[in-house]
Amino acid sequence: MLVYLRLLKESFGFAMNALRNNKLRTLLSLLGVTIGIFSIIAVLAAVDSLDRKIKKDIGSLDNSTVFFFKYSFGPTDVPGWKVEQFPDVTYEEYKFLKNSLTDVESVCFKLYAGRETIKYESKTVSSIAVVPCTYEFSDIEKLDFKEGRFFSEQESNSGSNNVVIGHEIAESLFEGVSPLGKEVRLYGQRFKVVGTLKKVGDRMISFGSNPDHTIYPTVNRIRSLFGDNNQSFYPIVIIKPSKGIDIENLKAQITYKIRNFRGIKSGQIDTFFVNFLKGATDMIDETIGFMNIAGWIIAGFSLLVGGFGIANIMFVSVKERTHLIGIQKSLGAKNRFILFQFLFEAIILCLIGGIIGLLMVWIIALILTNALDFEFVLSAANIVLGTGLAVIIGLISGILPAISASKLDPVEAIRTGM
């Protein structure tokens, strides 16, 4: 064990001598490894950061969430003109599903509405999102409250004028003063604020509006103002299944119940769509997977060039130290001692290049994180991967030079070096 530790120490010394004595040559050789490690870890770190951001943005919704809607979230064989003729989802269908479905945690009724202006005394905020919904929406969306609460079941059913507002709306209208209990004007009506949400920040992907810029009134209050046939609102039922249930069975259950509720006869097509959030997230995961593959392909060429560079410098190193190898072997050094010496040297050189590449990624990640509203993360897994790749490149690129050095005849080596 002590022999190999001494061997590692000597190899490190030879590697550092190579750096000092042939700075330009070594720098050019290391450049390939450095760029290769930098490229692949930078791409993987960017993709990981993007993946984390997307999952954080859509993390408020369970991956198994089901959307019962007039429209499909993805491609469909039904022509667009026929879809437009489908009836809208109704509040009665929401109540029917809520009372008849099994294996579900929550069922919520929500309206997609246009953007509006909200007022408080002399202050106005324009282009805010309005999301009329039932009381279950808070549990399905997992809203985080800064102050107050969501409206209750009784308030939801009775159509109270209570509302919950997002962080940016609260900051703009009330400027640090608690909005709880105060009345804002929306659609020309007064609504009482019962809760404010914590700041969410910008989202890259969002299934719906950003809570920071959203107001949540009770859906029955909006239905009482505008009725159920107003073309400005698009109703949807959101269903949160119980843990561990078969989603396809739930879809079949919803389809069967709604077909019966609507009186759709056998042989007639469904006049609705049962959409899954999982389908959208699977598509995102697939895209991220392709990005990872593309990153590996691009960086692979740099790693290949880097490996050739290290192999070249090791062959030159063998040539320059032929005389020393001959002396070592004449003094009793075994072939594996010479092989490991050059192999360790190749690995150490690659590790130096890899560490430089990782440092470059870390510095750039810090700069971009501070400059942009996006967190770039260099994970421990990527650091280990970068280090491991550097070791593998060192092994592959150093094996042939190391073998050639270990097989040198001591007499010929000494004579050649003289």
φ, ψ of residue 275 in degrees (nearest 5): -100, 150
Asked if the structure places residue 72 within a domain, the reply is no
pLDDT at position 367:
85
Asked if the structure places residue 71 within a domain, the reply is no
Cβ atoms of residues 324 and 417 within 8 Å: yes
Asked if the structure places residue 69 within a domain, the reply is no
The helix/strand/coil state of 148 is strand
pLDDT at position 60:
53
- Whether residue 287 has pLDDT greater than 90: no
Asked if the structure places residue 387 within a domain, the reply is yes
Q: Are residues 266 and 344 located together in one domain of the fold?
A: no
Tell me which range, 102-106, 181-185, 400-404, is most confidently predicted by mean pLDDT.
181-185
Q: Are residues 301 and 264 located together in one domain of the fold?
A: no
Asked if the structure places residue 65 within a domain, the reply is no
Closest to 349 (Cα-Cα) out of 34, 36, 6: 34
Q: Are residues 247 and 103 located together in one domain of the fold?
A: yes
Pairing of strands 214-217, 162-165: antiparallel
Q: Are residues 246 and 353 located together in one domain of the fold?
A: no
Asked if the structure places residue 53 within a domain, the reply is yes
Asked if the structure places residue 22 within a domain, the reply is yes
DSSP string, 200-243: ----SS-SS--GGGEEEEBHHHHHHHH-S--TT-EEEEEEEEPT
Cα(325)–Cα(296) distance, integer angstroms: 38
Cβ atoms of residues 192 and 183 within 8 Å: yes
Q: Which domain holds residue 134?
A: 87-271
Q: Are residues 111 and 259 located together in one domain of the fold?
A: yes
pLDDT in tens, 344-396: 777 887 888 888 888 888 888 888 878 776 677 777 888 888 888 888 888 88
How many domains does the chain fold into? 2
pLDDT in tens, 59-98: 555 667 889 988 887 778 888 888 888 999 999 999 999 9
pLDDT at position 133:
94
Helix pair 335-371, 23-57: axis angle to 10 deg: 50
pLDDT at position 319:
77
Q: Are residues 129 and 173 located together in one domain of the fold?
A: yes
Q: Choose the final residue of a domain: 247, 271, 295.
A: 271
Q: Are residues 50 and 92 located together in one domain of the fold?
A: no
pLDDT in tens, 197-249: 988 876 655 556 788 889 999 999 999 999 888 888 889 999 988 887 888 88
Q: Are residues 409 and 306 located together in one domain of the fold?
A: yes
Q: Are residues 39 and 159 located together in one domain of the fold?
A: no
pLDDT at position 406:
75
Q: Are residues 91 and 235 located together in one domain of the fold?
A: yes
Q: Are residues 352 and 244 located together in one domain of the fold?
A: no
Tell me how crowded residue 360 is: count the other CB atoms within 10 A of its CB: 16
pLDDT at position 290:
77
Q: Are residues 142 and 256 located together in one domain of the fold?
A: yes
Asked if the structure places residue 359 within a domain, the reply is yes
